[in-house]
Amino acid sequence: MNYLSQLCRSIQPYQAGEQPQDKKYVKLNTNENPYPPCKGVTQFLQDFESERLKLYPDPENKALCDKIAEMHGLKRENVFVGNGSDEVLAMCFPTFFDRDGNGVAYCDITYSFYKVWAKMFEIPSVVIPLMSDFKFDVSAFKQAKCQGMIICNPNAPTGAIVNRLDLIAIIEANPEKLIIIDEAYADFCNCSMANYVNKYPNILIVRTFSKSYSLAGARCGYAVGNEVLINGLKTIKNSFNSYTVNALTEGIAVKALEDKKYFSSCVDKIIATREDVSDKLRELGFEVLPSSSNFLFVRHSYKRASELYFQLKENGVLVRHFTASRIDDFLRITIGSPEEMKVLIQKLKLILKA
């Protein structure tokens, strides 16, 4: 067996949340949006001529890049799109980090795919622990010895946010390092740094259509940043696959961006539900970490998270339980519709009473 296949076999891959096909659950385990995509998306699908599928899509996805650029007040050259933000993030590793460099810094408790990509591309990891209250250690990131860093903001699975001034302090303390900000959940707290891309050539903002635009199934994500960074990503992409975003997905994503009103109404509803459910969970004896996202990270005062996870599943409610140390007594609960959250609270009441 050669060295690379040995490496691949030794990697512990990222474990995505369950997508059960057996029965219908109240599905609060993968941070999907409970609301459907906007009407423009439905219309686009109805009008789409299947004849178009005989041709390859635009390898540069110009229509979508232009729409994204317009939204952020940038140029097409500042935008890179991919098959979900996972793909965009994955491509960042071979593009920007060296095997024999100082490594990529990220938190100990954060999106667990970062460590898989680091291992896969043999980039050293510089793991910076969150503080004891699960807050981000700003001064450790300011001083980190690394080639670059990935900051998930708001963080997953904690939901905590690094405020703009702290982020700017980190960016300005590290002008020679690449700072990737994973904004998968940023629309739920309006904290995007995308409009700082022209000011700071060392930041790359990675975003997704999966959460706030209700398009997880369409698989579309993007990065915005300085043209030099974007060109680097394009080189790597075009060495893997010229057509990462298919014609249907490109059209769908363009339509989703056109309906700002619907987008905001869904985000607002999710935030309102989040606040309401947080209160209800606290009444049931949960510690609820402050969340700037579309999920809550909670721990019960006496009932173990692993037991709660299984009992909820038996009762038709799926949430996420991670077994990693420091967080194995927490559950991550996606904010669904008010009706779904009502079922969650009812089932928790039953379980906790038993």
Nearer to ligand PMP (CB atom), residue 250 or residue 348 = 250
Q: What are 208's two structure tokens?
A: 């997704």
How many residues touch ligand PMP under the rule CB under 6 A: the total is 12
Q: What is the DSSP annotation of 149-214? A: EEEESS-TTT-----HHHHHHHHHH-TTSEEEEE-TTGGGTT---GGGTTT-TTEEEEEESSSTTS
The region of 21-29, 83-91, 192-200, 259-267 touching ligand PMP under the rule CB under 6 A is 83-91
- In the list 57, 84, 94, 225, the residue contacting ligand PMP (rule: CB under 6 A) is 84
Nearer to ligand PMP (CB atom), residue 156 or residue 271 = 156
Query: Least distance (Å) from ligand PMP to the CB of residue 340?
Result: 19
Residues 209-238 that bind ligand PMP (CB under 6 A): 210, 216, 221
Using Cβ positions, the residue closest to ligand PMP within the complex turns out to be 84
Which residues fall within 8 angstroms of residue 147, CB to CB, at 6 or more apart? 96, 97, 98, 101, 102, 103, 104, 177, 178
Query: Least distance (Å) from ligand PMP to the CB of residue 15?
Result: 11
- In the list 208, 292, 294, 334, the residue contacting ligand PMP (rule: CB under 6 A) is 208
Q: Strand locations in the chain, DSSP E?
A: 26-27, 79-82, 104-107, 125-128, 148-152, 178-182, 203-208, 221-225, 286-288, 295-300, 317-318, 320-321, 331-334
Name the residue type at position 121: F
CA dist 332 and 289 (Å) reads: 10
Nearer to ligand PMP (CB atom), residue 95 or residue 208 = 208
Q: What are 139's two structure tokens?
A: 């001064």
Residues 146-165 that bind ligand PMP (CB under 6 A): 152, 156
Sign of CA dihedral 236, 239, 244, 247: positive
Phi, psi (deg, nearest 5) at residue 74: -120, -175
The region of 1-9, 80-88, 124-132, 280-288 touching ligand PMP under the rule CB under 6 A is 80-88
Closest by Cα among 172, 192, 195, 169 to 181: 192
The region of 72-80, 137-145, 208-216, 344-352 touching ligand PMP under the rule CB under 6 A is 208-216
Query: Least distance (Å) from ligand PMP to the CB of residue 239?
Result: 20
Query: Least distance (Å) from ligand PMP to the CB of residue 324?
Result: 15
Query: Least distance (Å) from ligand PMP to the CB of residue 195?
Result: 20
CA dist 114 and 105 (Å) reads: 10
Nearer to ligand PMP (CB atom), residue 159 or residue 251 = 159
Question: Coil, strand or helix: which one is 134?
Answer: coil
Query: Least distance (Å) from ligand PMP to the CB of residue 9?
Result: 24
Nearer to ligand PMP (CB atom), residue 17 or residue 285 = 17
301 by Cβ neighbours in 10 Å (0-12 / 13-18 / 19+) ranks as exposed
- In the list 61, 85, 212, 249, the residue contacting ligand PMP (rule: CB under 6 A) is 85
Query: Least distance (Å) from ligand PMP to the CB of residue 88?
Result: 8
The region of 78-86, 127-135, 193-201, 344-352 touching ligand PMP under the rule CB under 6 A is 78-86
Between β-strands 221-225 and 286-288, what pairing exists: parallel, antiparallel or unpaired? unpaired
CA dist 334 and 346 (Å) reads: 16
184 lies in the binding site for ligand PMP (CB under 6 A): yes
List contacts with ligand PMP (CB under 6 A). Answer: 84-86, 111, 152, 156, 182, 184, 208, 210, 216, 221
